[in-house]
A and B are shown apart, each in its own frame.
Chain A
């Protein structure tokens, strides 16, 4: 469960998190995203049982997906296991990928996110306290996660829309998306009534949808 304790507890990093969302956006030094066409071609080759294509796909996409899994699961051994399962899954189901339906990166991310959320369903897979290095890292102000959002037009747009949300709405949405927190965990974590959390998320998502179009 998510429990806040210690002097460097939730309040401090929450403030940092909020601060990081209102950062003036500066140029990131993150590497450019791989072109969707490149990934789609690799997936197509995976469907044709080309093991070299899987190796290349892994090289290009694993660090990001490992980062995603690590943030949700907050345990390296779990994230490693999920990552392994997901790439084997990708290998087995590459033929079902269709670029018409989703961008390759989105498809890959969905597989990892869904696997992580499934993982958290198991009663013996209770995640550690959120207040650890990964969160601290996320909350760091420079070069900061928001700065990384500048790397493409799409992410600049969502960064702008996130900034347009009320701070509290932004925070619950970020914690739900990045940290895989459920409504109940958010309520405990932020010491808020469950109904409030649900309504903030609903209103936040609705505003995001209108903003992103």
Chain B
């Protein structure tokens, strides 16, 4: 068939819009439409001509379960937290941007720590990408324990959260696996955060990363501040 003939194009476009162009002919016509703007226009004209007929179709309220299923599917398509680059600029930019919020949160943390032992020396407020506070990490002193207090973090049951020190210009250093709901104390790790500007939490396999470096997405991060 010579699809270039205008009368034929008009007739096929009408049959396509009406629905009588079927099967392989319909698929072939759809492929032609992709490459031919004029053909798409002719089809659109026919669709617009016939569209008012749909007002004759009686609306039928679909069962409620359909919207629930659509909504669940749409939720499942929400973009996952992207693995930020550990070595690139993105993480550092995000950390810098998070500073303003972190400072505000620190005021609150300071109030909570008002009766803290005077030796608390470091605090890091770890936030997620939307600047929600997820965890607060504090060190009594650089020779002692790190306390990790979850605020609003969650972990899938088959994964663990791992805390990392992010030395400037160096590779992340693991500080250990931390709980997502209960407080964790990491012994003999506090000295490893001396002179480290920031901390981060990544999502790792059970028991933590096996490579010694983060393998999953960075969920939370924050600057480490000397008190």
Q: How far is the CB of A84 from chain B (nearest CB, A)?
A: 5
A209 at the interface (CB under 8 A from B): yes
Contacts of A162 in B (CB 8 A): 53
Contact between B20 and A109 (Cβ–Cβ < 8 Å)? no
Contact (Cβ within 8 A) A106 B20: no
Q: Which of B33-78 contact A (CB under 8 A)?
A: 40, 44, 47-63, 65-67, 69-71, 73-75, 77
Which of B22, B48, B55, B70 has a CB less than 8 Å from the CB of A87? B70
- Whether the Cβ atoms of B54 and A109 lie closer than 8 Å is yes
8 Å CB contact of A201 from B20, B49, B58, B60: B20
Residues of A within 8 A of B11 (CB): 202, 205
Q: What is the predominant secondary structure among interface residues of chain A facing chain B?
A: helix
User: Does A163 lie at the interface of the complex (its beta carbon under 8 Å from any beta carbon of B)?
Assistant: no
Q: Can you name the residue of chain A whose Cβ is closest to the Cβ of B67?
A: A58
**CB-defined contacts of A209 to chain B, threshold 8 Å:** 14, 49
Check B22 against A121 for contact (C-beta < 8 Å): yes
Chain B residues contacting A39 (CB-CB under 8 Å) are none
The count of residues in chain B whose C-beta lies closer than 8 Å to any C-beta of chain A is 38
* Residues in chain A near residue B70, CB distance under 8 A: 54, 58, 84, 87-88, 91
A154 touches B52 (CB 8 A): yes
- With contacts A117-B26, A121-B22, A205-B14 taken as known, whether A63 is within 8 angstroms of B60 at the C-beta atoms is yes
Chain A nearest Cβ from B26, distance in angstroms: 7
Chain A CB within 10 A, most for which of B11, B57, B62: B57
**Out of A51, A103, A201, which one reaches B48, CB within 8 Å?**
A103
Q: How far is the CB of A12 from chain B (nearest CB, A)?
A: 20
Bound form: Cα–Cα A71–B58 in Å: 9
A-B residue pairs in contact (CB < 8 Å), sample of 12: A64-B59, A91-B77, A105-B54, A121-B23, A152-B52, A158-B49, A176-B20, A177-B53, A182-B22, A183-B20, A201-B20, A205-B18
Residues on A close to B: CB < 8 A?
30-31, 33, 51, 54-55, 58, 62-64, 66-68, 70-72, 79-80, 83-84, 87-88, 91-92, 101-103, 105-106, 109-110, 113, 117, 121, 137-138, 145-146, 148-149, 151-152, 154-155, 157-159, 162, 173, 176-178, 180-183, 186, 201-202, 205, 208-209, 212
